Amino acid sequence: MIRANIHKCLVAFALLVYATAATAQVYNPFNQRDNEYRLLGLKRAKQAYDAVRAEYERQQQLFEKGMITSLDLEQSRARFYDAEVNYQQSLLAVLFEEQHVSVARAVKYQTADDSKHVRLTIANTSGGTAEFQQLLRMDDELLRTLQPDVIHNVYVSIQNDDRAIISRPYEAKISQLRFDEPVRLDFELLQDLDAVTIFLYYANGAQRYMKVFLEKDASVDRVAVQSEQFSQEVELGTSSAFDLTMELFSGTSNTFSLEVVNLPQQIGRFFKDPAGQVRLSQVKFTQGNRTKRAALEVSLPDRPSSEVLMDKPIPFYVLVLPREKIDGLTDLRERMWTETELDSLEVGYVRLELIPRGKGEITVRAPQLYHAINAGGTAEMYVDLVNEGSNRLDNIELNVDLPLGWSRTVEPRVVPSLEINEEARIVFTFIPPEDVAVGKYQVRIRTSGLSNSEPVTAEDKTVTIEVKPRASLAGTLTVVVLLIGLVTGVVVFGIRLSRR
């Protein structure tokens, strides 16, 4: 009996020594180089975890048989938990390091309401490396639970160079992004740009800023045209320019013709580059430059007509046609087009609007600007007001700047209205004071009015009035008597001289 107990004790002691030696051999603490070579560190941690787990299971069996104490079991359990945590940390470090999200495509397109959108294709490219493929082949319950081929909670937004979000929605969330299963997102651009920054943020704290040049949707095969100054008021007899921004959405054509339809023939038009140096009839896009700018210059006639009416909007269209389509549209300028017909052509166009405005122009015609009067007299004159502008004049008023002490009458003082080329005569009477000194005086006439509720003025006229001294009756009679005496003396002298 004693021998049997001694034998059991020896066996238990041998097993304990073996377990301790085995644990000391297989348990491998953290190596500082594991941070640099994370996959090798994971292999070391996995090997140590498997060995310690097997040892812990053996220790449990020995404890159940009463061959080791509870203290020995707790020590084995602590080593097992420590190895398990080390393995999980190494596993998570590798998974998070290998996670990678990319922008597979970024395509810009325009909708029917002329808003610009971007289609982003976001892909999980984590499984592309050889190390990650080796990790995926590991048969481990914990690894399968963590789903190494899935990236959770990916946040995506579109920003400009100032890191301001320029998309609606401001941010999109992808709950799960699986390897080899890309996700497509659609954003509306709040700022029209050709190059944007894609910001990616995943749940493990990783983030990426990707500056990308947007592709153009080539499926529509047309040019999108926009104008910020699509409606303008232009005075008759003047010119104005409509800015045009053209963006290519085509995979086949790259040369396009510029045309204008529904604009009256009395209105001149031509296309030019933004600098205004060169006239254009066609534009050509290149692979690196799919956005072009131009301007449409329009010139209005000096006078309204049946087709160019005052204050009546004239809608028209600018067309950007592929070169191969222009040959089939021989009656392009000879007819009026509707938007439905333009849509059926499947070409890019923009609707513009021109509102002819006129402005009255006051011309003051004064036949005489110099008057001579005697002291105590008055000076009378008139001027003719002529509307030589392109719109009616209203409330034409004449103001007179007089010398000190002078007075005046104006008839009429205000002209209620004056149509185009219509005339009105204004009569002035300038009255000097009783004690006016002899000399020259100047009077300034100022004319102002309204045209389309805007002030209009004419060139000032300056009138010179010379005041001469009063005539003396006694002096005048003396001069007359002397003249008569002189004439009589000459006649008498002549008669006497003839008798001799």
The pair of three-digit structure tokens given for residue 450, joined into one six-digit string: 């309204």
Q: What DSSP character marks residue 127?
A: G
Residue 65 is predicted with a pLDDT of 84
The CA distances from residue 151 to 101, 159, 183, 324, in Å, are: 8, 23, 12, 49
8 A C-beta contact, residue 362 and residue 449: yes
How far apart CA 241 and CA 295 sit, in angstroms, is 6
Whether the predicted pLDDT of 442 surpasses 50: yes
The pair of three-digit structure tokens given for residue 74, joined into one six-digit string: 């707790």
102-159 pLDDT, tens digit per residue, is: 899 998 888 877 788 999 999 988 754 455 555 555 555 655 555 667 888 999 999 9
Residue 34 is predicted with a pLDDT of 53
Phi and psi dihedrals of 298, rounded to 5?
Answer: -120, 145
Residue 305 is predicted with a pLDDT of 84
Segment 451-474 shows an average pLDDT of 84
59-103 pLDDT, tens digit per residue, is: 888 888 888 888 888 888 888 888 878 877 776 666 665 678 889
Q: Which of 202-216, 271-285, 375-389 has the highest mean pLDDT?
A: 375-389
Residue 447: closest CA among 378, 386, 390, 357: 386
How far apart CA 463 and CA 400 sit, in angstroms, is 10
Residue 142 is predicted with a pLDDT of 58
Model-level pTM greater than 0.75? no
79-88 pLDDT, tens digit per residue, is: 888 887 887 7
274-322 pLDDT, tens digit per residue, is: 877 789 888 888 777 778 899 999 999 888 888 888 889 999 999 998 8
Query: Can you list the domains of the chain with their CATH numbers?
Result: 2-98 (no CATH), 101-216 (2.60.40.150), 222-357 (2.60.40.1510), 362-468 (2.60.40.10)
Whether the predicted pLDDT of 352 surpasses 90: yes
DSSP assignments along 142-188, one per residue: HHHHH-TTEEEEEEEEEE-TTS-B-EESS-EEEEEEEBT--EEEEEE
Average pLDDT in the chain: 81
User: CB-side exposure of 73: number of CA atoms within 13 Å?
Assistant: 14
Length of the chain: 500
Cα angle 459, 461, 464; round to 5? 165
Residue 76 is predicted with a pLDDT of 86
Residue 396 is predicted with a pLDDT of 93
How far apart CA 109 and CA 111 sit, in angstroms, is 7
| Secondary structure of residue 64 in the 3-state scheme | helix
Residue 259: closest CA among 242, 278, 282, 230: 282
Other Cβ atoms closer than 10 A to 80: 21
Residue 145 makes CB contacts below 8 A (sequence gap 6+) with none
